[in-house]
Structure 1
Amino acid sequence: MPKSKDRILVTGASGFLGAWVVRELIRREVPCVLFDRDPELRRLDDLVPGRPDHIPVETGDISDLDTVLDVVRRHKPNAVIHLAALQIPFCRPNPMNGARVNVLGTLAVFEAARQLESIRQIVYASSAAVIGPEEYYQGKTVTDDSPLAPATHYGVFKQANEGAARIYFQDHGISSIGLRPWTVYGLGRDQGVTSDATRAIKAALLGRPYTLRYSGRNALQYARDVAAAFVLCALDSRQVGKTFNLRGDVIEMADFIRTLEELLPQSKGLIQLSGGPIPVACDLDDAELRRFLPALPRTSIAQGIEQTLADFRRLQQEGRLSTHDLENS
C-alpha cells in the first residue's frame, strides 16, 4: 500500500525529467497519475525496469482545457508537477506551436486548479532560459528576483508562465512553485542543446568520438537531484507563489570532459568542444530554495557522471541502449 496520502498528477511524464520525477514518486511510494501526449514511456521503462503497472496513464493535449479538467475531475490529484513542454529546438522553427504547448498548456493547468478544488499545489518547470547572458548581470550572482532577459522564444514562454503563476496566486490564491533548472543530465536526456553533456557520456562509454555544440561555463545538475526538488516541492503544503533558481555545479565544459576521462580513461581524446558558451548566466543563487527545502540533495559532477555511466552500462548489457541521439545530433 502507498505510504503517502497525496496523489500527484505529472504532466509530460514520457519526457526525460518526467521519467525521473515518476521514478522518485515510485521510490517514495507516492500515488501518481501520468499525463502526456505520447503514451510511450520508454524513458521511464529504462529508469524503472518492471515499474508498477497500476499507475494510471492518461493521454491528451495539455493545451486543451477540457481534457485537463476531465483528468483532474476523475483522478482528483492534490498536486500537479507540470513538466509538459516543447524544448528550444522545437519552439524555434514553430513558435506558434511552442506557445500553444508551453504557455496555453500551463494556463490549462492553472485553470484546472482554479475551477476545481482538489489541487493544493502546482510545481511547474520554468527554466534558466529566462535568464540573460553573463554580461547582462555584470559579474553579479543571479538571484530569484534578478531581471530576466530570455534570448529564445522558449525562454520568453517560460517567463510568461512565471508571470501567469504570480497572477493566479495574486488573484485566486492558487499556490505554485516554479523551478529553473539549467543543464540537467542523466539517463534519458536525449533532446535539446544541453543534452550534449549526457550524449558525451554515452559516446565516451561506447568509444565514439563526439563534439559538444558549446563550450565555456555551464551549470550541471544531476537528474535525480532535480527530480527530488520537484517532488519535495509538490509534497509541501505551504501556500506560496514563488519561482526559485536551481543552482547546479558551475564548471568549465573542458573540466567536465577531464572528469569524464578520469572516470573512463579509454575515452581520452574522444570528446571535443565547439562553439561558444550558451548565452545564459550560470552563477545562480538558490539560497532561498535551500532555506525553503533544506533537505535538497546535491550530487557531485563525478558522482553524477559515474551513475549515468552505470545506467548506460546496464542498458547496454540488456541490449537496450539506444544510440539514436548520437546518430541524429
Structure 2
Amino acid sequence: MTRGTVAVTGAAGFIGRWVVKELLDRGYVVHGLDNLSNGSRRNVEEFSTSDQFTLEIGDICDEEVVDDLLHEDTDACIHLAAEIDVQESLDDPQSHFDANVVGTQNILEACRRTDTRLGLVGTCMVYDMVDSGDGIDESHPVKPASPYAGSKIGAENVAEGYYHGYDLPITFLRPFNTYGPYQKTGMAGGVVSIFTNRDLQGESLKIFGDGTQTRDLLYATDCARFIVDGTFSDDAVGEVFNAGTGTDISINDLAELIATDGTDIRHVEHHHPQSEVQKLRCDPSKANELLDWEPDVSLEEGVDHLRDWLRTQNRGD
C-alpha cells in the first residue's frame, strides 16, 4: 500500500540511497533529485525497476529544478543534498556556501510554496568539540571549525527562520559519523569505509595524526531510519535531534578492529589539522525519548556487513 509521496534531495548519495530504500520499504513513492557530483546512478540502480521511484538529475541551486520537484501533494521533503568535504571547503568555501546555504534556501521556498514538511539533514560537525567528553547533546554550543560546518549551521539558521516566521514544519537532524555500503572508499569517504577497503586490498591503514581522536560511528540503515522517523514525527517539528550510538572509539582502536593479519597500520602527517575534531561522541537520548529511536547495528556487525559488501564490489558482482 502506498503511504504518500516524499521528495529526497541527494537521493543518489551514500546516505540518500539508504533513505530512499527506507522510504520504499515503508511504502512511499519517492521522487529523488541529485546532480551526481557526489552521488551515482549505481547507488540507486536497485530501485530502477520500481514504479514508486524516480530520479531527476538536477541541482538544488537551480530554482526551476527545485520547484519541479515539489508539488501540492508532496507529503514531505528530506533534504540531504550538500557539499560535504571539509578540505574542499577550506580550498573553495564559495562552493559550499552556494550548495549548502543558497541551495537550502531554494528548498525552503519550495516547501513554503507547497506547505511541505521538511526533514533538514545537518551534521555533528557544527558543534564545539571542547569539553564534549560526556557526549554531545542538542544543547551543546556550536562552533563550526570549517567553511563546510559553517555553511551547514548557516542553512539551519535560515531554516529556523522559516519555522518561526512561516510556521513551516521542519525537523533538524544531525547524524554523527555514518558508514556502510555505498560510501566512497577514497579520501572523500568515511574512515570506516577507507580502512575496510584498504584492508581488503592488502594496503596499509593510514592514520592522520596520533590516532587518539575518537568518532561515534553510526551504521547507514540506523541513520536512514532516524532521518525518516524524525521527518514524519509531529513531536519532532521545530526540534533538533542528534543520532549516534552514544559510544566513541579512537581511530587507533578502529584500525586495530578492522585490520586483519598482515595489514600494516601507520601514522602520517595530518593534511588539515586545524579542522580536526579530537573527540566526537553523541548523546542520542533525545531521539530515543521523542522518536523512540535507537541504533540496531553494532560497530562490529556494521564492519562485517561493509566488508562483505566491499568484497562483492571488488569481485565485480
Higher mean C-alpha deviation, range 302-311 or range 162-171: 162-171
1:183–1:221 contact (8 Å) kept in structure 2: yes
SS of 2:81 mapped into structure 1:
coil
Supply the distance in 2 between the matched residues of 1:49 and 1:71 (Cα, whole angstroms): 18
Supply the distance in 2 between the matched residues of 1:255 and 1:138 (Cα, whole angstroms): 19
SS of 1:9 mapped into structure 2:
strand
Give the aligned partner of residue 93 of structure 1: 91
Report the CA distance shift for 1:316/1:111 in structure 2 as closer, same or farther (over 3 A).
same
Give the aligned partner of residue 155 of structure 2: 161
SS of 2:281 mapped into structure 1:
coil
Give the aligned partner of residue 15 of structure 2: 17
Higher mean C-alpha deviation, range 94-103 or range 213-222: 213-222
Match of 1:243 among 234, 237, 240: 240
Report the CA distance between 1:56 and its aligned residue. 1.5
1:35–1:60 contact (8 Å) kept in structure 2: yes
1:135-172: CA deviation from partner (whole Å, max 9, x where unpaired): x2374542202211110001111111221222211111
Superposition pairs of residues 1-329 of structure 1, within 5 angstroms: 3-38=1-36, 40-45=40-45, 48=46, 52=50, 55-73=53-71, 76-87=73-84, 88-117=86-115, 119=116, 121-133=117-129, 136-137=130-131, 139-190=133-184, 195-213=190-208, 215-216=211-212, 217-238=214-235, 240-248=237-245, 249-261=247-259, 265-266=260-261, 268-275=262-269, 278-279=276-277, 281-317=279-315, 319=316
Report the CA distance between 1:199 and its aligned residue. 1.2
Supply the distance in 2 between the matched residues of 1:212 and 1:27 (Cα, whole angstroms): 37
1:175–1:239 contact (8 Å) kept in structure 2: no
Supply the distance in 1 between the matched residues of 2:203 and 2:278 (Cα, whole angstroms): 29
Report the CA distance between 1:237 and its aligned residue. 3.8
- Any stretches of 5+ residues in structure 1 without a counterpart? 321-329
Report the CA distance between 1:129 and its aligned residue. 1.1
Indicate the RMSD between aligned Cα atoms, in angstroms: 2.4
Report the CA distance shift for 1:130/1:259 in structure 2 as closer, same or farther (over 3 A).
same
1:166–1:242 contact (8 Å) kept in structure 2: no
1:200–1:212 contact (8 Å) kept in structure 2: no
1:193–1:213 contact (8 Å) kept in structure 2: no
TM-score (norm 2): 0.87
What letter matches 2:55 in structure 1?
Answer: V
Supply the distance in 1 between the matched residues of 2:243 and 2:80 (Cα, whole angstroms): 15
TM-score (norm 1): 0.84
Flag as ranges the 4+ runs of structure 1 deviating above 4 A: 191-194
Report the CA distance between 1:239 and its aligned residue. 6.1
Supply the distance in 2 between the matched residues of 1:143 and 1:192 (Cα, whole angstroms): 29
2:172–2:240 contact (8 Å) kept in structure 1: yes
Report the CA distance shift for 1:287/1:305 in structure 2 as closer, same or farther (over 3 A).
same
Supply the distance in 1 between the matched residues of 2:155 and 2:236 (Cα, whole angstroms): 18
- Any stretches of 5+ residues in structure 2 without a counterpart? none
1:219–1:251 contact (8 Å) kept in structure 2: yes
Report the CA distance between 1:273 and its aligned residue. 4.1
What letter matches 1:154 in structure 2?
Answer: Y
Report the CA distance between 1:28 and its aligned residue. 2.4
Report the CA distance between 1:210 and its aligned residue. 3.0
What letter matches 1:234 in structure 2?
Answer: T
Supply the distance in 2 between the matched residues of 1:200 and 1:245 (Cα, whole angstroms): 25
1:260-304: CA deviation from partner (whole Å, max 9, x where unpaired): 24xxx43x4334444578326413222111111114333111000
Report the CA distance between 1:60 and its aligned residue. 1.7
Supply the distance in 2 between the matched residues of 1:16 and 1:314 (Cα, whole angstroms): 17
Report the CA distance between 1:54 and its aligned residue. 5.1
